[in-house]
Amino acid sequence: MTPIEQYISEQPEAIQPRLRALREAILKVNPGFEEKISWGMPTFRLKRNIIHFAPAKHHIGLYPGAQAVAHFEPELDDFKHSKGTIQLPNDKELPLALVGEITAWCVRQEEGA
């Protein structure tokens, strides 16, 4: 079991399927991510941390960084967001395709660094 799988298994049962779906969407982009817990959150890493997520009371926070949020801002109208953070409400369907696009963009930025 990876650290992120362990983390998900320790969360409230109602949110676990959403967290698993996010993990799968992120790993679909790059199955070679190192999975770890950083800052108390599931973190996907290549040479550096690429993207994180964490559940909150009414949403799941997705943390791709400020540049990614700025780049995807036109597509984030339906989501509360701020510098580096996107809130995915628990009462809405997860935008897994968008999460994949954001993750892929973050990977490309890392590869170009």
Mean pLDDT by 10 residues, the chain (113 residues): 97 97 98 96 96 97 97 95 96 97 95 73
Domains of the chain, first to last: 3-112 (3.90.1150.200)
pLDDT of residue 113: 59
Q: What does each C-alpha distance from 84 to 9, 16, 40, 88, 106 come to in angstroms?
A: 26, 23, 17, 13, 12
DSSP the chain: --HHHHHHHTS-TTTHHHHHHHHHHHHHH-TTPEEEEETTEEEEESSSEEEEEEE-SSEEEEE--HHHHHHHGGG-TTS-EETTEEEEETTS---HHHHHHHHHHHHHHHHH-
Give the model's pLDDT for residue 40: 95
Residue 78 CB contacts under 8 Å (≥ 6 apart), including other chains: 92, 95
Could you give the CA distance from residue 59 to residue 35 in angstroms, rounded to a whole number? 22
In this prediction, residue 18 carries a pLDDT of 98
